[in-house]
Homo-oligomer: A and B are copies of this chain.
Amino acid sequence: MPKIVTEADRQLKRQVILDAAAHEIARIGYDRANINTIAEQAGIGRGTIYLYFKSKEEVLEVLLDSVGQLINEVIQQSIEQHGTWQYRLELLAQTFMELASDHRDYLRVHVSALHGVNRPIGAPVARWLKTTVSHLAFAFERAAERGQIRTSDPFTLALLVLAMLESFVLLPEVLDLPIHEAVARSAFMAEVLWGGIRPLHTP
């Protein structure tokens, strides 16, 4: 009888590989990240990676899709909340920061790919950006229609919000902040943003 490997086992090992890959790519970038090193860090043989992924490129694609989904979920949950948009923005900033803290390597890879140059490999993240900006812009547009926020350009606003969020992933590295400090900063970010879009009559 063959060794029995369930689909769950496969997914588990895929995750181990993805984690190792995220670590390496976050450290030295996709091009320099070495399949051999990734395998070592994943505690498996070099060839084993190719039983789980078609190529090095596919590892990155799955990685990016995975983190893209994570981010989308955070955004979705935040902006679908009941309550004021001030509150929603605070929540968005905070949960995004927590995500970045929990999955630091993944976020680094994501941001790196997003702002990275136009290699074919950047395409998936570019698509992600367009989609996510659109969703966010739509939410802003509805909010503006209802007088909950005030904006003349929901699309660009959405891009700005995403840019702010993603730039905060850089914070820990640049400022060497402990995590609770960074969370506090995210609150400030939400505050500035809210100031920029709140309806004039709000206090």
The main secondary structure of chain A at its interface with chain B is helix
Instruction: Check if A116 sits within 8 Å of B112, measured CB to CB.
Output: yes
Within 8 A of B (CB), among A8-26: 25-26
Instruction: Check if B115 sits within 8 Å of A112, measured CB to CB.
Output: yes
Instruction: Check if A192 sits within 8 Å of B197, measured CB to CB.
Output: yes
Which residues of B have CB within 8 Å of A156?
185, 188-189
- Copies of this chain, complex-wide, total 4
Which one of A54-62, A66-74, A167-175 is at the B interface? A167-175
Q: Is A147 an interface residue (CB 8 A)?
A: no
Q: Is A35 an interface residue (CB 8 A)?
A: no
Interface residue range, chain A: 35 or more
Which one of A75-83, A94-102, A157-165 is at the B interface? A157-165
Q: Is A4 an interface residue (CB 8 A)?
A: no
Instruction: Check if A173 sits within 8 Å of B116, measured CB to CB.
Output: no
Instruction: Check if B167 sits within 8 Å of A159, measured CB to CB.
Output: yes
Q: How far is the CB of A59 from chain B (nearest CB, A)?
A: 15
